[in-house]
Chains A and B, each alone.
Chain A
Amino acid sequence: TQLLEQSPQFLSIQEGENLTVYCNSSSVFSSLQWYRQEPGEGPVLLVTVVTGGEVKKLKRLTFQFGDARKDSSLHITAAQPGDTGLYLCAVITDSWGKLQFGAGTQVVVTP
């Protein structure tokens, strides 16, 4: 089983709609990162959340870290085609700082 479960696996919406993707685990983490990967490119860091209950905003993207630091969500308001991509969550899993990724949510925003 995956340490991080991301849902849904795939999401297709129209431009202007809102969406939320989730990253869940039964483990507690000191921090969690969200990356976006566009076709043909490597993942790019969007945000790091470190405090339980923390909410961070990046333009139309809102990231929340669960109170118990076991889960996180990413909400996109008024999605645009440029938001299309694979959204990955990742956590540090050992003292050497090894990152472990979820399988990702593929988001497609059509005009």
Chain B
Amino acid sequence: EAQVTQNPRYLITVTGKKLTVTCSQNMNHEYMSWYRQDPGLGLRQIYYSMNVEVTDKGDVPEGYKVSRKEKRNFPLILESPSPNQTSLYFCASSLGSRGYEQYFGPGTRLTVT
């Protein structure tokens, strides 16, 4: 089954404790991205990757890091989480960047206390 998987689905952590949210897709997609979703603000892009070893900042990259060492994986790293990073996070992938359907993962609900 074609899918995007994220882990963990739920995470409660404390300020400053480094964490990684994994994302993996099995569709051989080149383009992957991370979004955060907050009430009233919709989905905002954090980082995106055009292909292996090619990443760039989205609209809200502060406090986040990413890497793309393999085509299928695109982890999101929070080096020192803060309460304002409490949010619902989605990973997405698509064949390409322009106008292609984005396939979203099921989401990771992160709470930073």
Binding site for B on A (CB under 8 A): 2, 4, 9, 30-31, 33, 40-45, 48, 50, 88, 90, 92, 96-104
Contacts and interface: CB of A to CB of B under 8 A. Distances in A.
26 contacts: A9-B40, A30-B99, A31-B99, A33-B101, A40-B106, A41-B104, A42-B4, A42-B92, A42-B105, A42-B106, A42-B107, A43-B90, A43-B102, A43-B104, A44-B104, A45-B101, A48-B99, A50-B99, A90-B43, A92-B98, A92-B99, A97-B96, A97-B99, A97-B100, A98-B45, A104-B42
Question: Interface of chain A, helix or strand or loop or mixed?
Answer: loop
Contact of B42 (A48, A50, A88): A88
Nearest to B100: A97
Contacts of A9: 40
Interface of B: 4, 31, 33, 35, 40-45, 48, 50, 56, 58-59, 90, 92, 96-102, 104-107
A96 B59 CA distance: 13
B42 A99 contact: no
A103 B41 CA distance: 5
Contacts of B92: 42
A96 B47 CA distance: 12
Contacts of A44: 104
Contact of B97 (A4, A41, A90, A97): A97
Contacts of B90: 42-43
A42 B106 CA distance: 5
- The 7 closest A-B CB pairs, nearest first, are A42-B104, A97-B97, A97-B98, A103-B42, A101-B43, A101-B42, A45-B101
